[in-house]
Amino acid sequence: MNEQQLDRYIINFRGTVYRLAYSYLKNCEDAEDISQEAFLKLYTSTQSFAADENVKAWLIRVTVNLCKNLLRSSAYRNHDELTNEAAPHSPESSGIEEYIKRMRPEYSAVLYLFYYEGYSVKEIAKICGITSVAVRTRLSRGRNKLKEMLLKEDAL
Amino acid sequence: MKRELNSFYERITPESSNREFLDTILRKAEIMERKTNKTVRKPFIAAAAVAAAMAVGTGAAAATGLLDFNEIFGQSIIAEDPEHGSSLLGFAEEQKHVVSNENYIVKLNAVTGTHASLVTSFEISRADGQPINNGNDPHIDLKDISLNNIESFSCGSCHYYLNDNGSIIINWENRLGDDLMLSDLNSVAGEIKTSGSISFADHSERVDLDWETSFNYIPTDESLETLTAADLNKKITLNGNKIDEFDVYPVECEIRTIKLTQLGGVIEISAEADEIFFGLNHDNEIFLIKKDGTKILAGFSSGYATGKQDTVIYNVTYYADNKFIDDLAIDLSDISAISINGTIFELS
């Protein structure tokens, strides 16, 4: 892959990769690090791609794996506990943002892939390495919680 | 709700510009390249990586692609090489697992990797089959891990965690370009040892555990027989999956090369640009045909991009009684042809 191709893929897919990583990790710095790692893997990969959609699917899969690996690492968990304690509540945050930040990473990632990226349940199952039933469960629980929260906001 | 969600996601945007981001990637790639070049390159780097992997563990591993711990190991040590098919590299015998506390078991689950890194996965579980319960004391402290004194913990990166089944999983990655010379491992025959020590909580008690795994690695220099297809360039239809589409669909292909060894083979396939695929479905029907007309079931396993446009190489795995057997070897002198979805290719 040459620099021009990489540049084009960054323009087309950086947002997707970043938002997905953010959905898992809930902070900008880690989302940026994971994005860099995913695109670095793409740039140094020997894989050939026939279409841009294949590149996108590949990047999504790699990003999911990188995020899961990071979340599993004890170094990250310790760091995460510290930053969570120190992070002040952001007054300009919207309700939905606050809720999604509190949501478990696997739930927010599934919501993102389904609603924003438009992937089907079956496709998300394949991307995340879980069953279709698990995807449906996470979607349903995530939706219900969000709905509940939005209704409360309206009531205020 | 969809509107609110999408509006939320729209606001999540990276802070740096695409230009800065591109520069960062290029800079990191350059640093990586410099480090990789420090390693003595070997022509059989993919196979060598697997051989090295096997020197640590027992069994076969894919040498390219994403790192997935889905390889289950047996006694044989097999390299999957896209050019030469699966090759028998050696055997692992007299496996021993010694643990300082008999209430626990340490298993070497898998070794896999790429030409640039090697990942070893250990699993620590209770001998009574019950899950480890670290309750209110989730701290796990991996104190040391080493391989025949070649590698120390400080040289690689290690992720460890308690999984849903109550086992501690340790994934240990060594970047070969930086620290580990493949030739160091590849030349090792005889007893291979890995060891480590860890501290964790189980049912409110702290446990300090030392372990050592070892086995005899017996490399083989036996050169394998190879069969090649005599009549190629026939058009055939294979059942494929695109990575971003999950339905099976027919792919019009041409077979470029077929090579079979006793332990597996490779098939190079080309297709039109818009038909390139990343998965061949399991329902593609492959048989090795014996001289007496009887058939041995085979199937496509992992695939590799060749670097040539519109071509991919797939490994072929043999089956016995419809089951995959990782050390199955066939007698090639008895094979006359291979059938792929009903099209026959004579072998020479």
**Hey, which residues 33-62 in chain A have their CB within 8 Å of chain B?**
35-36, 39-40, 43-44, 46-51, 53-54, 56-58, 61-62
**Most confident range, picked from A32-36, B81-85, B216-220:** A32-36
Within 13 Å of residue B4, how many CA atoms lie on the same side as its CB?
A: 16
Asked if A10's CB is within 8 angstroms of B28's CB, the reply is no
Q: The tokens of A41 are what?
A: 């893997």
What is the pLDDT confidence band of residue A14, given thresholds at 50, 70 and 90? very high
Average pLDDT over residues B60-75: 30
> What's the mean pLDDT when you consider all of chain B?
68
Q: Which of B2, B171, B275 has its CB closest to that of A115?
A: B2
More confident residue, B241 or B345: B345
> What is the DSSP secondary-structure string of B224-264?
PP-EEBSS---EEEEEEE-TT--S-EEEEEEEEEEEEETTE
Query: What distance in Å separates the CA atoms of residue B75 and residue B91, rounded to the nearest whole number?
Result: 6
List all residues of chain A from 80 to 99 with a beta carbon under 8 Å from chain B.
Answer: 94, 96-97
Separation of alpha carbons B267 and B280, rounded Å: 12
If you ran DSSP here, which 8-state letter would residue B105 be given? E
Rounded Cα–Cα distance for residues B324 and B317 (Å): 8
Q: What is the mean pLDDT of residues A114-141?
A: 78
pLDDT at B264: 75
For residue A133, how many other CB atoms are within 10 A of its CB? 10
- At residue B328, the pLDDT reads 65
Highest mean pLDDT among B26-40, B81-95, B310-324: B310-324
Beta-carbon separation of B1 and A97 below 8 A: no
Taking the C-alpha atoms of residue B202 and residue B137, their distance in angstroms, rounded to an integer, is 8
pLDDT above 60 (res A89): no
Has the ipTM of the complex gone over 0.90? no
Banded pLDDT at B65 (limits 50, 70, 90): very low
Confidence of residue B135 (pLDDT cuts 50, 70, 90): confident
Among the listed residues B164, B172, B160, the one whose alpha carbon sits nearest the alpha carbon of residue A74: B160
CA B63 vs CA A57, A114, B7, B44, B308: distances in Å? 21, 33, 42, 11, 19
B199 at A interface, C-beta within 8 A: no
pLDDT given for residue B242 in this prediction = 59
Q: Do B21 and A35 touch (CB under 8 A)?
A: yes
Residues of B in contact with A43 (CB under 8 A): 25-26, 29
CB-based contact A40 B29, cutoff 8 Å: yes
More confidently predicted of A70 and B157: A70
Banded pLDDT at B282 (limits 50, 70, 90): low
Q: Which amino acid belongs to residue A79?
A: H
Maximum mean pLDDT: which of A128-132, A136-140, B58-62, B338-342: B338-342
Higher pLDDT, B221 or A42: A42
CB contact under 8 A, B18 and A97: no
| Count of residues in chain B | 348
Mean local confidence (pLDDT), A116-121: 84
Residue of B7, B23, B25, B139 best to disrupt the A interface, most CBs of A under 10 A: B25
- Tell me the two tokens of residue B236: 């055939």
Q: Do A43 and B64 touch (CB under 8 A)?
A: no
pLDDT of residue A48: 65
A131 and chain B: CB distance < 8 Å anywhere?
A: no
Range with the largest mean pLDDT of A105-109, B238-242, B285-289: B285-289
Give the mean model confidence (pLDDT) for residues A50-75.
Answer: 77
Report the mean per-residue pLDDT for chain A: 77
Cβ-Cβ contacts under 8 Å, A142 against chain B: none
- pLDDT per residue over B148-170, tens digit each? 644 443 345 677 888 888 999 88
Q: What is the pTM of this model?
A: 0.41
> Residue B277: closest CA among chain A residues belongs to which residue?
A50
Q: What tens digit of pLDDT does each residue of B42-61 get?
A: 222 233 333 344 433 333 33
Query: From A15, which residue of chain B is nearest by alpha-carbon distance?
Result: B13
- Average pLDDT score over residue span B269-292: 75
Task: Assess whether pLDDT exceeds 70 at residue B24.
Answer: yes
Q: CB-based contacts of B207: which residues, under 8 Å, 6+ apart? A: B101, B104, B199, B200, B201
Amino acid at A151: L
Taking 80 as the threshold, does the pLDDT of residue A67 lie above it?
Answer: yes
**A77-103: average pLDDT:** 56
Residue of B nearest to A22 (CA): B12
Out of A138-142, B201-205, B226-230, least confident range: B226-230
What mean pLDDT do residues A122-135 have? Answer: 75
The two structure tokens encoding residue A147: 């709905």
Question: Between B160 and B201, where is the model more confident?
Answer: B201
Average pLDDT over residues A75-91: 48
Most trustworthy range by pLDDT among B8-22, B66-80, B222-236, B245-259: B8-22
Question: Does residue B7 have a pLDDT over 70?
Answer: yes
Separation of CA B302 from chain center: 9
Strands B286-290 and B264-271, by their bridges, are unpaired
Strand order in the sheet with B205-219: B76-81, B85-99, B205-219, B190-202, B141-147
Of B4, B18, B243, the CB nearest to A57: B243
Tell which wins on pLDDT, B203 or B40: B203
pLDDT of residue B218 exceeding 90, the answer is no
Instruction: Check residue A149 and give its pLDDT.
Output: 72
Q: How confident is the model at residue B277 (pLDDT cuts 50, 70, 90)?
A: low
pLDDT-derived band of residue B246, with 50, 70 and 90 as boundaries?
Answer: low
Listed in sequence order, the DSSP H helices in chain A are 3-25, 28-44, 52-72, 74-86, 95-102, 105-111, 121-128, 132-155
Q: Evaluate whether B272 touches B279 at the Cβ level (below 8 Å).
A: no
